[in-house]
């Protein structure tokens, strides 16, 4: 049997039910993996071993009685430090937020996981206020890629993706305002889903408005479906949230792809230059979909790059999230964030409404597109992971992170469900992601396509193997190693 940290959440729950292993053993293994990799990768801002082991013991007792609390009882989970989780501060990668306070409230997605018995390992890293597509911040330093420590994990949910890749919990909560789940999923070789906007309720509301989604990062699509079943559904604190899902996302996985109409766009109609290794891996996966019975056509969606409209909304959000900061606090911001918030502060209401017009037209175009095709498949990113600690690849000529993420942010504008599916590696051994996009409210189709690729062996990459990472837990892990609610910010 694979080591405990390498098992999926679905397999863990099955093992608990059969008595093959216990939530306490699994929690210890995940915690040790988190601690051993933290000095090299820096995926966490906080690891709370005592609380995690306490919840694992409670889960173990429930399983012993045959009374699990829910679908993820005893499964280790991490939470991006953008989302509230009671018992500790949510600092959002910023030195401008004080850790002082009671911190007694959970975000809706965290609350649903808590109700169903999840074991929270800790909080994962984010760039300051989640503003960019890589993960480094003035507060916690640089988060690195498990496949190559000189490279970035991506962002803004970089710590979440790295934790899953390393076996520090099979489930992770991330947020995605322009690709922030899908980008690190592609760079770290895991599955990342941005659900339809509102499918997972969000509170407090994001300063970036209705661009911001909450979604899972997992080992495979089946785990993402399991997690989405738990975290979706209405919450009174989110006025823009959707009503109950039409059915179980886990149950929808079995539909397969036979007969699905798949549009494959390799470069959005020649608008994007894609690295050859990425293009080859994605095309092989698309050929795999055809082999599974999907009707695959090469077709491009009918839109030009909406980056200027996205920048208006995004930079305006950056100005809003930093609006109440004093001069000294502004000086402490990530320089890139400070720059774009200045641009955003100069925008007018008419600028904002013009961007909304672009957004509405883009949504109309994609609505028409999905009358002809069930899903759109593209590369998740045109590049593989690059040097850590920079916003854009050196020598690329890009000014902002949106320069190398042209496949992701359009579908935040349209609020469609989209996922990055790991489909192997490039010639240098770096993970490649394939993006699956469906019409709004068709999260089930995105998950079905991803699951079919995993089931057929088309999706997935080998786990990273950092020196000293592989470990079996032979006995209890004491507070001397893991500490109590230890802050691990760089």
Known catalytic residues are 80, 156, 180
Task: Please state the separation of Cα 324 from the chain's center in Å.
Answer: 28
- With contact defined as beta carbons under 8 Å apart, do 220 and 254 qualify? no
Q: To which H or E segment does residue 124 belong?
A: strand 119-124
Nearest residue to 333 (alpha-carbon basis) of 134, 488, 487, 139: 139
Token pair in block for residue 360: 């509405």
Q: How many Å apart are CA 224 and CA 251, to the nearest integer?
A: 12
Q: Is 61 helix (H, G, I), strand (E, B) or coil?
A: helix
- With contact defined as beta carbons under 8 Å apart, do 164 and 174 qualify? no
- With contact defined as beta carbons under 8 Å apart, do 50 and 88 qualify? no
Contacts of 343-348 spanning 24+ positions with Cβ under 8 A: 343/311, 343/315, 343/319, 344/314, 344/315, 344/316, 344/317, 344/318, 344/319, 344/320, 345/319, 347/312, 347/315, 347/316, 347/319
The 3-class SS string of 361-428 reads HHHHHHHHHHHHCCEEEEECCCCCCCECCCCCCCCCCCCCHHHHCCCCCHHHHCCCCEEEEEEEECCC
Q: How many Å apart are CA 448 and CA 453, to the nearest integer?
A: 9
Cα atoms in the Cβ-side hemisphere of radius 13 Å centred on 209: 16
């Amino acid at each position: 049997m694979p080591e405990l940290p390498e098992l999926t959440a679905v397999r863990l729950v099955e093992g608990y039910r059969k008595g093959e292993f216990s939530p306490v053993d699994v929690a210890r293994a995940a915690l040790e993996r988190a601690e051993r990799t933290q000095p090299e990768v820096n995926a966490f801002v906080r690891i709370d071993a005592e609380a995690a082991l306490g919840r694992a013991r409670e889960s173990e007792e429930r399983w012993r009685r045959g009374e699990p609390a829910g679908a993820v009882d005893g499964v280790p989970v991490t939470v991006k430090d953008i989302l509230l989780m009671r018992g500790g501060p949510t600092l959002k990668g910023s030195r401008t937020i004080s850790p002082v306070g009671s911190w007694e409230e959970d975000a809706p997605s965290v609350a649903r996981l808590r109700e169903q018995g999840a074991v929270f390992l800790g909080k994962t890293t984010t760039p300051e206020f989640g503003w960019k597509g890589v993960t480094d911040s003035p507060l916690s330093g640089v988060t690195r890629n498990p496949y190559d420590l000189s490279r970035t994990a991506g962002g803004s949910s970089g710590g979440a993706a790295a934790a899953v890749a390393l076996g520090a919990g099979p489930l992770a909560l991330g947020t995605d305002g322009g690709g922030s789940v899908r980008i690190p999923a592609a760079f770290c070789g895991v599955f990342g889903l941005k659900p339809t906007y509102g499918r997972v309720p969000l509170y407090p509301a994001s300063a970036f408005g209705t661009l911001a989604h909450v979604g899972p990062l997992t080992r495979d699509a089946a785990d993402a479906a399991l997690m989405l079943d738990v975290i979706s559904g209405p919450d009174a604190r989110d006025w823009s949230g959707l009503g109950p899902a039409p059915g179980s996302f886990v149950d929808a996985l079995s539909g397969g792809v036979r007969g699905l109409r798949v549009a494959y766009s390799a470069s959005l109609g020649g608008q994007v230059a894609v690295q050859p290794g990425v293009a080859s891996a994605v095309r092989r996966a698309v050929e795999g979909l055809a082999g599974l019975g999907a009707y695959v056509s090469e077709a491009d969606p009918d839109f030009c790059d909406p980056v200027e409209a996205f920048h208006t909304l995004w930079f305006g959000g950056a100005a809003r999230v930093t609006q109440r900061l004093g001069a000294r606090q502004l000086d402490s911001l990530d320089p890139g964030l400070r720059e774009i918030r200045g641009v955003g502060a100069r925008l007018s209401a008419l600028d904002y409404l013009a961007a909304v017009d672009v957004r509405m037209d883009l949504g109309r175009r994609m609505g028409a597109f999905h009358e002809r095709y069930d899903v759109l498949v593209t590369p998740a990113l045109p590049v593989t992971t690059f040097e850590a600690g920079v916003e854009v690849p050196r020598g690329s000529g890009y000014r902002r992170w949106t320069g190398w993420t042209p496949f992701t942010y359009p579908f935040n504008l349209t609020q469609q469900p989209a996922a990055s599916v790991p489909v192997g590696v490039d010639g240098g051994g770096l993970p490649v992601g394939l993006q699956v996009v469906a019409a709004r409210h068709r999260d089930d189709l995105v998950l079905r396509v991803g699951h079919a690729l995993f089931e057929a062996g088309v999706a997935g990459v080998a786990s990273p193997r950092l020196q000293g990472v592989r470990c079996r837990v032979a006995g209890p892990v004491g507070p001397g190693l893991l500490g109590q609610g230890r802050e691990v910010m760089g």
